[in-house]
Structure 1
């Protein structure tokens, strides 16, 4: 299984989810990806939107700093069904 990564710490909504969605579209079902993000809206919206599209959030934890201004690492698994 391949592992994918994207850093959206400098992006703002809605570009944070758009870039994450484009990454997921390039992935095969079951593959994992690491997303680095920062900011209250991305921390709230990116995981929620991924779940709404059927993907699994494996983990989400602070990588550097505390609160929404710190950098967080989200690990996701693309849903088994190939349809988005």
Structure 2
């Protein structure tokens, strides 16, 4: 299974959502993208944004001052 990472630390909303969605477009269906974002608004807003576009958020974990969101591209 394809698994890629995307570091969006320091990227504000809504640019982080746009970048994550653009990256997901390049992946095969079912692939996973591990996205690192800042604490606060980015961590709160990105998961619902991904889900609205039909992708699954399969993991969300805090790592220091950041959050890691693992999304699976929709079929």
Which runs of 5 or more residues in structure 2 are unaligned? none
Q: Deviations over 1:21-67 (max 9, x none)?
A: 11111011100010000132211111001011111111101011xxx
Please state how far the C-alpha of 1:10 moved relative to its aligned partner. 1.2
Cα RMSD after superposing both structures: 0.9
Moved over 2 A (4+): none
Q: Residue 59 of structure 1 corresponds to which residue in structure 2?
A: 59
Q: Residue 69 of structure 2 corresponds to which residue in structure 1?
A: 74
Q: TM-score, normalised by structure 1?
A: 0.84
Q: How far apart, in 1, do the equivalents of 2:41 and 2:66 lie?
A: 13
Q: How far apart, in 2, do the equivalents of 1:38 and 1:11 lie?
A: 8
Which runs of 5 or more residues in structure 1 are unaligned? 65-69
Q: Residue 39 of structure 2 corresponds to which residue in structure 1?
A: 39
How many pairs were matched up? 75
Q: Residue 3 of structure 1 corresponds to which residue in structure 2?
A: 3
Q: TM-score, normalised by structure 2?
A: 0.93
